[in-house]
Amino acid sequence: NILCNASTICLRSHQMFEMAVRSMPPGVEQWVWLNDFVGFGVSDLNPSLALSFLELSADHYPERLGQLLVLDAPGILTPLWNMLKPFIDPVTHKKIRFLPHDLPRPGGGQHDSQLLRALNELMDEELVQWVLQEMKTVRGFTSGEGPRPMYDMRQLRSAVESGKVDSLYPALAPGQQGSSTAATGQLGHCHYGTTKMLDSFLAKPNIVIPEQKT
């Protein structure tokens, strides 16, 4: 059901936007949104979803968007993009950047990468490496070479409530989880965020566990 899917995805986007706002340090008021279109196919061409997303952003989060990075957009996205452009505010349009997945191949030598330049311009080194690993994981799944990345907000909230965010690292064996992220540099990749991000969740649990309204 297209309308149901659009409603569900927009709800999840709203939750992510709220988390982003709550996690912003003083002086930071905008975010960078990266949309990776790897695996995007004809069945994903959904104007209703795209318009719902634009309305959500414009109505509830005006001026929050710093930049929108569109990564690895396939040719079939062009008709949808041409359909949406008239509905996009000119200021927002200037913030949209299309980027190729032009990372250097292992052993292929050095070359100028538009993607790496954009990421290094906008993010610190830890976040850049986290984003690159996420891209690698997703591409492993879409090519049938790896498992599907799972993002479970209930699991994240439970880990933050218990103070054991190390349990979010799939590399840990049962019984090895701790309550500190001091050693997470050796724990592998966590889909829920960088070490710095997980530490911020522990310091400010309301980022992922909103206060109940009374």
pLDDT in tens, the chain (214 residues): 334 456 677 777 888 888 899 999 899 999 999 999 998 888 777 777 777 777 777 777 878 989 999 999 999 888 888 888 888 888 888 899 999 999 887 665 557 899 999 999 999 999 999 999 999 999 998 888 888 887 888 899 999 999 988 888 875 444 444 434 434 445 678 989 999 999 999 999 989 876 544 4
Q: What are the CA-CA distances from residue 178 to residues 15, 20, 155, 157, 192 (Å)? A: 27, 26, 15, 16, 17
pTM here is: 0.81
Other Cβ atoms within 10 Å of 135 Cβ, number: 19
Which residue in 124, 107, 24, 35 sits closest to 71, CA to CA? 35
Strand pairing category for 65-71 and 31-36 = parallel
pLDDT of 162 reads: 92
pLDDT of 1 reads: 35
For residue 193, give both structure tokens. 């965020």
Residue appearing with tokens 């993002």: 151
pLDDT of 117 reads: 94
Question: Do residues 73 and 41 lie in contact, with contact meaning Cβ atoms separated by under 8 Å?
Answer: no
Alpha-carbon torsion angle 62, 68, 73, 78, nearest 10: 40
